[in-house]
Structure 1
Amino acid sequence: MAIDYAAVFQALPGAVALLSVDLVFVDANLAFLSQAGRSRDQVVGRYLFDAFPANPGDPGASGARNLEASLRRVLLTREADTMALQRYDVESAERDGRWEERYWSPVNAPAFAPDGRIAVLIHRVEEVTELLRATGRAGGERNLEAELYSRMRELHQVNERLRKAHAREREVALALQRAMLPVPAPVGPHQVAVRYRPAVGSLNVCGDWYDLVRLVDGDRIAVAVGDVVGHGLEAAGVMGQLRSALSATSRVAKGPAQALEVLGRYAHSVEGAQSTSAVTVFIDWDHHTLTYSSAGHPPPVLLRGAGGADLLDRATDPPLDAAPEPRTRPEATVTFTEGDTLVLYTDGLIERRYQDIDTGLDRLVESLEAGRHITSPEALADAVLSDMLPAEGMTDDTALVVVRL
């Protein structure tokens, strides 16, 4: 017997709505519409927080903010998220401007398309307002409803104080990031673009870094990116130490392999530097060569102006402190022509959960080849980030350097 799943969805005794990844209502069953006091026309096709805005008369209301945060977590982690009990007032369907105090128990979960993308978000919600009121009356003791309302108001006030404290903390973090990852100094006539994007929920500081160093002889620079495991101020502190050490070492090293070898020895003495990856490329415009070495880092890409793209993966070694004893690291050299583009990045640009890293590398090469006509490194960097990074944000930080050769 064929099952009409659309009819089953409408007949579900629980209140369920389906949302697009842009948080627009795709569908809602009868139980959901009944609990919300809305018709299908008032819900389906509308943005979630247009259909159900926060109560403007309660500046401390956090229900809408908490619900959006939960849905963003589901998009980011691709896993279900069970929310704590929420107060989320609803405007009366009969009287505009009148808001009814309501309490809900929500669960949000992803539903996947055959290609692995999130097709829709399932928003299951149970209203518990009447249950709380009934429980408060049945006890014959203190009014549970009044107690709950009081606790919720206190929670709103605490959330607001935390929000302000977090905003101040972000200001400090941004100042630290600007100090550690300044806009690089001009490198002669050469065009360079750098980008950094933090992970969702981080303080805007991380263990990813980039660096450009003018070398002492000839028309040469060293460009590098690296990635310290972890997020937050501790990882940023380790990042600052390693970035500064590599910057200094590159100025006196014979080549990138020696620079990473010395940095690896230094990393052994830095707490928190375990499993750090880095790649550095010495660009020589006098001889039109790129000499590179990688310590466990994704390969740079050389986008050829005449067509095609090469992964610079012939000098790859384990991360900085992986070997128990210092060892000579490999390096390789390739030639370039005027109009080629060199791209370095950290793994946040290409790695995704449930996806092979080779898929991410293929997508990056496709994005670069699609942007081959873009001559400005600034514009190309923006185009690549737009293509590669999900709209809902990343779980890992991303650094990107684009050099026009």
Structure 2
Amino acid sequence: MIGISRFLIASAVGAMMAVPVQAEMTDVGTPRHETLVVQTFDGRSPNPSEMNPLNRYAVWRGARELGWGYLWEMDTGTGTPYPELADGFPEVLDDDHTHFRIKIRPGVFWSDGEEFTVDDIIFTMATSFKYRDQLTNVSTATSLLKEGSWKRIDDYTMEVETVETSFDFINRIGVMNWGSGFNIVPQHIFEPLGDAVTTFQNIDPVFLGPYTMHSYDPNGFWQLWERREDWERSSYGFMGEPSAKYILYKDFGPEETRTLAFVQNQYDLDTFMSPDSISAAKARSEHVETFAPTFPYHDMNDACSWGVRFHQQKAPYDMPEVRWALALSLDLEQVGINALSGQFIATGIPAADTPITREVYFNPCVKGGHKLGH
């Protein structure tokens, strides 16, 4: 199980799966029995043509899970990282943990047939710094790395330095939780653009993952992916062949509409439904499966926190006194019961209480060394 980031193997929080219908076509022209249909996490995309990962892009349409590749992935169920593009973990070259040697696996290719090398990594680092004031998704590189410190050793080996001690280097430059702040781009595509890299939308992208984009809806309702013929040369092709030939991300509308579409097998995977909708779907179809077969139906170790949020830039919520008054007047137990039918873990700080975060955040907050218990 590799966690929320590669949902084909591990279901996301609250995910439900239905049984696909065999003998029919999808509305985008693919055989239904060869197509995994997924309700998009964020509904309709407002920027479906933006697929340049150096800018804020349409990440929830499959690019994160299927397209881009990362040096190190993470099993989000345990918090354990593992190499994906990298050939093992980085070698620490100094006592301060600021100097690292990275090796990548040979034999990984972009979807257009160009080999992936450390030149792509170094180009991405250099471009992130050069255009940091214009690009909108390069914060990890520019805040973590020492500018100009990258050094090419050979096609598969490089060294780089960080600004300060980085015991979490593999998470910062790889994957932390659901995604990464360092998205590697193909040098052979981006370098010829020059300054235009800052406005490049990348509507016909090449990818490192085992899928490539087949087509998408310019109105933002769906995006279709197709498994690469050379999937074994992709970023995580070493893990085995993905079973679905096509993967369709589609927005099926409001939750009440989605629930009906789901029990009719119009789609297979939903990454979030309310407890009431889950109960209604299970009551209408014996084929609906959830993270757990009994209440609570979803994974209680959600990496995201739930609660009441205030718009702190809008009056009167910009006043700490008002926010405190509202917080103290709320019955948070009833909030949780009404919002999630009681299927939540209470927490006193704005961080999810999970087996991973408990030792890092929660236990140190308790005075007298007494550890919190579930």
Q: Which has the larger radius of gyration?
A: 1
Which has a greater percent of strand? Answer: 1
Which has a greater percent of helix? Answer: 1
Identify the structure with bigger relative contact order (alpha carbons < 8 Å, sequence gap 6+). Answer: 2
Q: Structure 2-normalised TM-score? A: 0.23
Q: Structure 1-normalised TM-score? A: 0.22
